[in-house]
Amino acid sequence: MKRLKVHYAWIILVLTFLTLLAAQGVRLSFGAFMAPWEHEFSANRSVISFIAFVSYIVFAISQPYVGRLIDKYGIRYILSCSILVIGFSTLLTFFTTNAVQLIIIYGVIASVGFGGASNVAGTMAVATWFADKKGMAMGLMSAGTAAGQLILVPLSLFLIDQLGWKTTVLVLGCFLIVIVFPLLLLFIRSNPADIHIEAYGAKAYDSEKSQQGKKEAPKETISIFQLLRRKEFLFLMLPFFVCGVTTTGLMDTHLIPFAQYCGFTPSVTGAAVSLLAGFNILGTVVSGFLADRWNCRRILAFLYGVRALTIVLLLIIVNDASLFGFFVTQSHLLILFAISFGIVNFATVAPTMKLATEYFKHLSAGAVIGWIYLSHQLGSALGSFVPGVLFDLTGSYDSSFIASIILLVLASALSILLPKPGANYQYANSRDIAEYR
């Protein structure tokens, strides 16, 4: 019987997926620890939210440097060391006695690890190991973050409810150090040349490229100040900032505390988080499929508009769920919110990035996309911190939800007003390059 051979690139993909699942799953579990930490350290919600704010800022700042470190030391050591940093930081939270220590350990040290074990490193791993089927590999790799949300967040909720938060951080820390770290150190490799093979599909890819003639000339870059003068850049960046405020900022940080505030049981809350993560994967895949076939500006406008409508459900939960009749309970509405919000959660990424590459195809798209992603992380920082402050001031999340709805409506309007990519932008790009020189 002929033995089936699996290219080592697929093993790298599985290990990268596991890394994102573990690292980003722990990061997204922050909301599960908010209420226990408030009680443990006699801190209000704004103080605990500030930890998330610091974490997102450190995470954002680390991203431009991750690629450089990988170029210098390799994917294997950056991913392994990042997991080790997160694991030991998670264990150290067991010994914390006040919120200031949490800011240092989780907000700064662990967040450096989160930045290293992020989509930037995953993207470079896929780009190095895959010459063929790179798009599919990228999609599978990026699903690791949503898988972490799907598995580790409900698990953290369950463990906290059954064993307490201190035992939970020990379990998570040991999982990272004892299981994930050795797998990465033993089996992941930085380059195919390290084990004397070529990247997946490299021969076919090189043959195809050789028939296409000369290589494309290096693309130019322009400064952030010139980008800010461009309507298409601003109208992509500002909605993506709102995306960060309302997704990883508000919902990933405060949905669990909101559900606890409303009196939902851990099982209902865990089910809602799992459904949100599961439908997040579905929405992201479908959005990427549609972005190649439909008008991306309209897709974005639709997604931001629907996201605003989903947050209306949360306002109904805390005000008057009976509007829908006796057969619809608050639990039903929370589950409905989780499904509908999950579908549009990360679905904005594909059409946003596709438009960015179309608008700036004559420039270095990577530099432009870097700034757009930075705006998302800054939005995430504010979206995690400000709702905690408003909760302490008002005793509810109503004002945060209303503000989010307004921001999302504006984001939808800006998306509709985005210019149509075309020949005019080729001229604009050339003019900006000339000015930059």
Q: Rounded to whole angstroms, how far apart are CA atoms 110 and 94?
A: 14
Contact 324, 333 (CB under 8 A): yes
Per-residue pLDDT averaged across 250-264, rounded? 83
> For residue 209, is pLDDT > 50?
no
* Sequence-separated (6 or more) residues with CB below 8 Å from residue 214: none
Given a cut of 50, is residue 215 above it in pLDDT? no
Quick one: average pLDDT of 49-65?
82
**What does the pLDDT look like over 266-295, one tens digit per residue?**
788 878 888 888 888 888 777 767 777 788
| pLDDT at position 155 over 70 | yes
How confident is residue 1, by pLDDT bands cut at 50, 70 and 90? Answer: very low
**DSSP for 61-94, written as a single string:** HHHHHHHHHHHHH-HHHHHHHHHHHHHHHHHHGG
The residues spanned by each domain of the chain are 1-201, 219-437
Say yes or no to pLDDT of 426 above 60. no
Q: What's the topology of domain 1-201?
A: Growth Hormone; Chain: A; (1.20.1250)
DSSP 8-state code for residue 299: H
CATH level 3 topology of 219-437: Growth Hormone; Chain: A; (1.20.1250)
Q: Which tokens in the block code for residue 413? A: 């309007």
Q: What is the structure's pLDDT at 365?
A: 52
pLDDT at 408 (0 to 100): 94
Q: Are 283 and 345 in contact (CB under 8 A)?
A: yes
Q: What does the pLDDT look like over 89-129, one tens digit per residue? A: 999 999 998 889 999 999 899 999 998 888 777 777 877 88
Q: What percent of the chain has pLDDT over 90?
A: 19
What predicted TM-score, i.e. pTM, was given to this entire model? 0.72
Report the amino acid identity of residue 267.
Answer: S
Per CATH, 1-201 and 219-437 having the same topology is answered: yes
Instruction: Give the whole-number percent of the chain exceeding pLDDT 70.
Output: 82
Q: Is 263 left (phi over 0), alpha (psi -120 to 50) or beta?
A: left
Distance CA 352, CA 395 (A): 35
How many other C-beta atoms can be found within 10 angstroms of the C-beta atom of residue 420?
11
pLDDT for 189 equals 86
Please give the single-letter amino acid code of residue 182: P
| Amino acid code (one letter) for 15 | L
Q: Which amino acid is at 155?
A: L
When mean pLDDT is compared across 156-165, 277-286, 420-429, the lowest value belongs to 420-429
| Distance of alpha carbon 304 from the chain centroid | 17
Tell me the H-state helices in 117-164: 119-129, 134-163
Predicted pLDDT at 138: 65
- Which range among 137-141, 299-303, 351-355 has the greatest average pLDDT? 299-303
Mean pLDDT, residues 62-73 taken together = 75
